[in-house]
Amino acid sequence: MPDGAVPVLEVKDLKTVFRVRGGEIHAVNSVSFDLRAGELLGVVGESGSGKSVTMMSLLDLLPSPPAEVRNGTVMLGDRDLLKVDAETMRSIRGGEVGFIFQDPMTSLNPVFTVGFQIMEPLRSHMGLSKAKARDRAVELLELVGIPDARSRLKDYPHQFSGGMRQRVMIAIALACDPKVLIADEPTTALDVTIQAQILELIKDLRQKLGMAIIWITHDLGVIAGIADRVMVMYGGQVVEQGPVREVFANPAHPYTRALLQTMPKLHGARETKLRVIEGQPPMLGRHPESCPFRDRCGHAFDRCAAENPARRQLGENHDVACHWDHREGKP
Amino acid sequence: MTERRKLVEVRDLKMHFPIFGGILRRQKGAVKAVDGVSFDIYEGETLGIVGESGCGKSTCGRAVLRLYEATAGSITINGQDIATLGQEELRKRRPMMQMVFQDPQASLNPRMTVAGIIGEPLDEHTDWPRQKKLERIYELMDAVGLNRDFANRYPHAFSGGQRQRIGIARALALNPKFIVCDEPIAALDVSIQAQVVNLLEELQEQFNLTYMFISHDLSMVRHIADRVAVMYLGVIVELAPVQALYDRPMHPYTEALLSAVPEPDPSAARRKDRIVLQGDVPSPANPPKGCNFCTRCPKVMDICREVPPETREVAPGHFAACHLLDQDQTTGGTGGRGSEHNQRLIQQGEDA
Ligand SMILES: Nc1ncnc2c1ncn2[C@@H]1O[C@H](COP(=O)(O)OP(=O)(O)OP(=O)(O)O)[C@@H](O)[C@H]1O
Ligand SMILES: Nc1ncnc2c1ncn2[C@@H]1O[C@H](COP(=O)(O)OP(=O)(O)OP(=O)(O)O)[C@@H](O)[C@H]1O
Ligand SMILES: [Mg+2]
Ligand SMILES: [Mg+2]
């Protein structure tokens, strides 16, 4: 895809901590990445690895306290999102940057109708009249495959199925033609046919609007199908990053390799038991001084405990944070 | 195989939600979320339920456990007619049948700690001493892969996947016989999905548990289910042993569903032949005349727009409701590579 294109979003050294009773949770540790115009960056990683917290930190969406963004810069064009005032942030959110939350039930307000919640940003960000906003809302709901859209505008979120609520979230995020779309598990509640339809829609919008997209998902099939690049997170860090074909063909980090092996298959013999990555996720109680994956890693050696590996370049655009040299098969 | 015992028997279950309208807020119609489904679940087996978003899977699961009062139909669980049970009797039966909810956030009380949430069913249904309860809570946390040190945290401090595991631990607390799992793994990463599925299978083996497993992840359903029911717009269009369903789908909707699964391989994924369904998705408030799938079926015939198809047993234990099966029962259904007439295959090129 657009190689060498200018980054629309550049994140450097982001660090987010939660203060909780009895200590701190270091959820995001020195995360850096960029997103180029028109590109789709897939983000995968263990549950609890900091994917959502990273993205929510960018848009000041975390409750503070307990959350505290301790370090980093987030450049959207020439503005640092960590420094803009609340007013500017509000106009960026839902305007230039669309956001789809992981949990559709909590991000839709149960006391307002679905129609109101889609029309609201259209009226406040785009200044549409009520009638225009309603027409656009219907159009958006049809785009994400909600049948009988006009008559469902007056329904409340609980009257929608899980997947329909998720599609409402997608419609809201797309309402104002964002430049950047951050989608956190946007299709987990969708069946494959609707998911395919949404993915086609997203591809289409990318082409038409040049929208750049961050897509968080557990579904490696989806990543394989639509992402240009993939970023793998573990224990609050980026452990590998590269073009999607390259990472799937030559995964460099032991966690990435384990992840690719745990997928159940649609074809071939049924596995009697699914493969899992043994062991527990890291506790995140302190800033990590050693490799967060070492307790579960088959290759760990003394250096992994002594020093948290920095990201090193493997090839063009492909990097990994691991002391083990997977190509040489030695430390 | 020895004679299997039916644990769950559902007959012609309907769940309609009324739609009110006009100034007088009179009922002017109904969302027919579940519109006459029948199936059995045998003791110790897993019945997978798949189907499009909004087709009524969650509603069906909830109605079976009587979390909704069904509009019509009968539900028997373990020989007991659930649909007509009084409230007190129902409460006594609750430990036996549990549900893992689709929306983990909405089903966890934000003001209770994790230990409190997992232990709630124990408080409600046992008179165990504190220490015993706590041990059970830790045991459950271990079982679902939650760190014990998190016991005193509140749900908001957990990631989406961690919350789902809290819900699973709670459902397991009272050693139920029958669990409706509504998308229990959708929010989990693949390794933890595998952990949870392995766990569900181990528990099943150990305690002879019976599952109704609702999911849109067809690969996972293939792994965990013994039989699979495919729902479309409130009805079951196909029900078959898992192998048969994946190898020889009989209903055009099942075929489309199977063809749309994304492949975890970047080069294969972009070249796959996908049946992309065209046409309007009908609303359950206003289902089409004839077959529910007729508005989008790539193989639709005139009769499909007039008469709803009957469910027939096309092979032992393999049920499907499609008019195509009325005609060519001899060729073994609509499915397969041979009969691709009229079907729209999208060749997705490398440039996609
Ligand atoms: N409000 C909070 N208070 C304390 N800790 C929190 C809070 N929110 C998140 N965390 C912690 O931050 C870590 C990262 O969470 P995050 O939600 O980013 O994970 P994730 O990668 O999105 O996981 P999933 O795939 O399960 O959604 C987790 O360990 C979580 O427990
Ligand atoms: N409380 C309710 N009031 C009115 N309509 C409802 C209610 N609950 C569900 N519905 C409707 O019933 C239909 C089926 O919903 P259900 O939640 O069972 O779908 P589902 O198959 O579980 O979908 P998903 O895969 O998206 O979770 C939908 O059209 C939904 O809008
Ligand atoms: Mg998350
Ligand atoms: Mg559902």
Q: Which of residues 73-112 of A touch B (CB under 8 A)?
A: 102-106
In this structure, the strands spanning B46-51 and B210-214 are: parallel
Point out which residues pair with B48 in neighbouring strands.
B213, B228
| CA of A76 relative to ligand 3 center, distance in Å | 22
Are the Cβ atoms of B246 and A270 closer than 8 angstroms?
no
Are the Cβ atoms of A271 and B223 closer than 8 angstroms?
yes
* CB B32, CB B76: distance < 8 Å: no
| CA of A91 relative to ligand 1 center, distance in Å | 26
Are the Cβ atoms of B274 and A196 closer than 8 angstroms?
yes
Nearest to B194 among A66, A275, A283 (CB): A275
> Would you call the peptide bond into A65 cis, given omega within 30 degrees of 0 as the criterion?
yes
What element of type H or E holds A259? helix A254-261
What is chain B's pLDDT, residue by residue, as a tens digit (352 residues)?
A: 456 899 999 999 999 998 877 666 777 788 999 999 999 999 999 999 998 888 999 999 999 999 999 999 999 999 989 988 888 899 888 889 998 887 666 678 888 999 999 999 999 889 999 999 999 999 999 888 788 888 988 887 777 677 878 888 899 899 899 999 998 877 677 777 887 788 889 888 888 899 999 998 888 899 999 999 999 999 999 999 999 999 999 999 999 888 877 766 666 655 556 677 776 678 888 889 999 999 999 999 999 999 999 999 999 999 999 999 986 544 444 444 333 333 333 333 333 3
pTM recorded for the entire structure: 0.82
Computed over every residue of chain A, the mean pLDDT equals 88
pLDDT at B334: 46
What element of type H or E holds B202? helix B190-207
Tell me which residue has tokens 């998911």: A195
| Cα distance between residue A296 and residue B179, in whole Å | 32
| Cα distance between residue A294 and residue A298, in whole Å | 8
Point out which residues pair with A74 in neighbouring strands.
A11
Residues in contact with ligand 2 by the CB-under-6-Å rule are A 158-164, 189; B 17, 31, 33, 53-59, 102, 284
Comparing C-alpha atoms, which of A112, A44, A54 is closest to residue A257? A44
Point out which residues pair with B347 in neighbouring strands.
B273
Please name the amino acid found at residue B94.
R
**Angle CA A79–A82–A84, to nearest 5:** 55
| Cα distance between residue A207 and residue A209, in whole Å | 6
Enter the DSSP assignment of A43: E
Instruction: Please state the ipTM of this predicted complex.
Output: 0.73
Once rounded to an integer, what is the mean pLDDT over residues A241-245? 95
DSSP A266-280: SSSSPPSS-----S-
Touching check for A150 and chain B: CB below 8 Å? Answer: no
Task: Please give the sequence-ordered ranges of beta strands (E in DSSP) within B139-296, or none if there are none.
Answer: 178-182, 210-214, 227-232, 235-241, 273-275
Tell me which residue has tokens 């002594």: A306
Whether the pLDDT of residue A135 is over 60: the answer is yes
| CA of B193 relative to ligand 4 center, distance in Å | 18
Comparing C-alpha atoms, which of A86, A107, A90, A218 is closest to residue A172? A107
> Which residue, among A274, A277, A278, would best test binding to B if mutated, counting the most B CBs under 10 Å from its CB?
A274
* CB A266, CB B261: distance < 8 Å: yes
In this structure, the residue with its CA closest to atom 12 of ligand 2 is B33
Task: Tell me the chain B residues in contact with residue A166 when contact means C-beta distances shorter than 8 Å.
Answer: 53
Angstroms from A316 CA to nearest CA on chain B: 18
Q: Token pair for residue B351?
A: 């440039």
Decide whether any atom of ligand 1 lies within 6 Å of the A232 Cβ. Answer: no
Task: Tell me the chain B residues in contact with residue A273 when contact means C-beta distances shorter than 8 Å.
Answer: 198, 201
Q: Which of residues 205-244 of A touch B (CB under 8 A)?
A: 218-225, 244
The torsion angles phi and psi of A259, rounded to 5 degrees, stand at: -60, -45
| Cα distance between residue A219 and residue B224, in whole Å | 18
How far, in Å, are A62, A63, A103 from residue A17 at the CA level? 11, 12, 21
* CB B49, CB B213: distance < 8 Å: yes
Angstroms from A19 CA to nearest CA on chain B: 10
Angstroms from A5 CA to nearest CA on chain B: 18
| Cα distance between residue B232 and residue B318, in whole Å | 17
Q: Is A225 helix (H, G, I), strand (E, B) or coil?
A: helix
| Cα distance between residue B227 and residue B318, in whole Å | 9
pLDDT at B71: 94
In chain B, the residue whose alpha carbon lies closest to the alpha carbon of A197 is B276
Are the Cβ atoms of B190 and A222 closer than 8 angstroms?
no
Task: Tell me the chain B residues in contact with residue A191 when contact means C-beta distances shorter than 8 Å.
Answer: 50-53, 216, 257
Whether the pLDDT of residue A265 is over 70: the answer is no
How far, in Å, are A20, A160, A275, B252 from residue A103 at the CA level? 22, 14, 27, 32
| Cα distance between residue A315 and residue A312, in whole Å | 9
Cα dihedral A60, A62, A67, A68, rounded to 10, equals -10
| Cα distance between residue B334 and residue B237, in whole Å | 13
Task: Please give the sequence-ordered ranges of beta strands (E in DSSP) within B200-301, or none if there are none.
Answer: 210-214, 227-232, 235-241, 273-275
Task: Tell me the chain B residues in contact with residue A193 when contact means C-beta distances shorter than 8 Å.
Answer: 52, 256-257, 260, 277
Burial, B327: exposed, middle or buried (Cβ in 10 Å; 0-12, 13-18, 19+)? exposed
Burial, B109: exposed, middle or buried (Cβ in 10 Å; 0-12, 13-18, 19+)? exposed
The torsion angles phi and psi of A150, rounded to 5 degrees, stand at: -60, -40
Are the Cβ atoms of B269 and A225 closer than 8 angstroms?
yes
Q: Tell me how crowded residue B157 is: count the other CB atoms within 10 A of its CB.
A: 17
Q: Distance between alpha carbon B77 and the CA centroid of its chain, in Å? A: 17
pLDDT at B337: 38
Task: Tell me the chain A residues in contact with residue B186 when contact means C-beta distances shorter than 8 Å.
Answer: 188-189
Comparing C-alpha atoms, which of B214, B255, B221 is closest to residue B237? B255
* CB B280, CB A147: distance < 8 Å: yes
Whether the pLDDT of residue A242 is over 90: the answer is yes
Angstroms from A94 CA to nearest CA on chain B: 22
| CA of B184 relative to ligand 2 center, distance in Å | 17
| Cα distance between residue B53 and residue A185, in whole Å | 16
Q: Which of residues 298-327 of A touch B (CB under 8 A)?
A: none
**Range from A110-114, A255-259, A267-271, B170-174 carrying the lowest mean pLDDT:** A267-271
**Range from A95-104, A264-273, A295-304, B52-61 carrying the lowest mean pLDDT:** A264-273
Atom of ligand 1 nearest to the CA of B164: 26
Q: Which ligand is nearest to the CA of A236?
A: 1
Q: Token pair for residue B256?
A: 């489309």
Are the Cβ atoms of A258 and B191 closer than 8 angstroms?
yes
Once rounded to an integer, what is the mean pLDDT over residues A180-190? 86
- For the segment A98-116, what is each residue's pLDDT rounded down to a tens digit? 998 877 556 788 889 999 9
| Cα distance between residue B12 and residue B314, in whole Å | 20
> For chain A, how are helix, strand and coil distributed in percent, rounded to 5?
35, 25, 40
Enter the DSSP assignment of A73: E
In the sheet where A7-20 sits, what is the strand order?
A23-36, A7-20, A67-76, A79-80
| Cα distance between residue A289 and residue A272, in whole Å | 39
Angstroms from B282 CA to nearest CA on chain A: 6
| Cα distance between residue A81 and residue B48, in whole Å | 46
Percent of chain A with pLDDT over 90: 49
Touching check for B288 and chain A: CB below 8 Å? Answer: no
With both helix axes pointing from N to C terminus, report the angle between B114-125 and B160-172 in degrees, rounded to the nearest 10: 20
The torsion angles phi and psi of A6, rounded to 5 degrees, stand at: -70, 140
| Cα distance between residue B169 and residue B118, in whole Å | 6
Comparing C-alpha atoms, which of B264, B352, B191, B262 is closest to residue A249? B264
